[in-house]
Structure formats: C-alpha cells, structure tokens
Chains A and B, each alone.
Chain A
Amino acid sequence: GENVEQHPSTLSVQEGDSAVIKCTYSDSASNYFPWYKQELGKRPQLIIDIRSNVGEKKDQRIAVTLNKTAKHFSLHITETQPEDSAVYFCAAAYNNNDMRFGAGTRLTVKP
C-alpha cells in the first residue's frame, strides 16, 4: 500500500510569517492529494486538495504544490494567524481507494 511521510512533526512560527509542510509518497499511481486540518478534540476537516494533473492550487492564504516526478507535495500557509494553530495531515490515494495519511504536523502560530 501507499506510504506517506510528513515533515516536520512540529512547526512554530510568528503570526504573519509563512509555514510550509512537506509530504512524500511512495506509490506513483496515486493521483489525489488532500490536506486536512484538525483542531484539538475535533474531527479532521478538508482544507485543500490537488489532483495529479495539476501542479499547484491556491485558495486565499493556503496553497498546495505537487511534484509528481519527485513524488512530493507541500502545503504553504501565508500570513499565518493564531487560528491556523492545529494539526495538519497530508494524504495520498489512487481514486480515493485506500487513502493513507501522514503522521501529522502540529503548527503553532505565536501572536
């Protein structure tokens, strides 16, 4: 099955700075790469996703980039705010079959 590695495991930034989280995957057949945000005690929520036919996708302050050749994808958050503090998970799957998640990144935004 797919293996997803995520770095860093913890990330601390000052409010207003940018944050970058990186993931690598093992299965070259994977074609769908979502990112989830999980606040303490809550369920994971989809924040952005990208499909393999696209190299970059942006939604306001968040963006995701995908490098299929190198099998890695990244989440970029600009102008971070305290409410961005949470655990972020990347995932990879082929057509939503057998979706595997990274171990998560705990992001702390200091005011």
Chain B
Amino acid sequence: NAGVTQTPKFQVLKTGQSMTLQCAQDMNHEYMSWYRQDPGMGLRLIHYSVGAGITDQGEVPNGYNVSRSTTEDFPLRLLSAAPSQTSVYFCASSPSPGDGYTFGSGTRLTVV
C-alpha cells in the first residue's frame, strides 16, 4: 500500500493562476479531507468527503473546489490563486467513523 499520495510536493503559482492538488489513496477509505496548515494556526479543514459523490465544506472553503468521483481520488482545485492561499496542504483519509485519519506528506504551495 502506498497510503495517501499527494502531488506535487512543491508548487509556486502566480496570483490569479489556477491549479489542482492531487490526492489519491489505495486503502479503500471512505472518508477523505483536505486541510491547510499555516504557522501557529494548526490544521484548518477546507473540504471533506464521506464517500464517492459526496462532499461538504469545512471551516475555510472559499477559493477552493473539490470533487469525489471515485473512492480513491479527492483533488483540490484552486480557482484563482491568492497570496493568502500560501500554505502547506494536507490530504487525509480514514476507513470509517471513529478511525483516525492517515495523512499524506503534504504540498507546500507558494503564491506570489
């Protein structure tokens, strides 16, 4: 098992550009989430999914879109990048309610 795989590991964007952060898991986990981590602010939930075809917003969803067409993949789209979106992004998955999340290795995004 590769676990949770995130690509790319690093990315620099210009303000206004769009891009997709990829997240894939090979553990057949139903639950998947995207978090951003900024210094001193912990992990903030962007969007989450409880199964294929089902997504919902977290606490900081503005400027981001997600979709969950398959159990394995949960891409995060930045619609028009802004410097405030400079952060480390983590994708995580869990097999069921009451089981811990497994995190990917993260994507470090810089918007200039």
Interfacial residues, chain A to chain B (CB-CB below 8 A): 1, 6, 31-32, 34, 36, 43-46, 49, 51, 89, 91, 95-104
Name the contact of A103 in the complex, choosing from B40, B97, B99, B104 (C-beta under 8 A).
Answer: B40
A residues in contact with B33, CB < 8 Å: 99
Question: In whole angstroms, what is the CA distance A108 to B41 when docked?
Answer: 19
Chain B 69-112 residues near chain A, CB threshold 8 A = 90, 94, 96-106
- Is A99 in contact with B45, judged by CB distance below 8 angstroms? yes
Q: Say whether B43 faces chain A, with CB atoms less than 8 Å apart.
A: yes
Residues of B within 8 A of A6 (CB): 42
B106 to chain A: closest residue by CB: A43
Chain B residues near A46: list those with CB within 8 A.
Answer: 100-102
Of the candidates B35, B43, B99, which one forms a contact with A96 in the assembled complex, judged by CB atoms under 8 Å apart?
Answer: B99
Q: Are B99 and A101 neighbours in the complex by a CB distance under 8 Å?
A: no
Are A89 and B98 interface neighbours, CB within 8 A? no
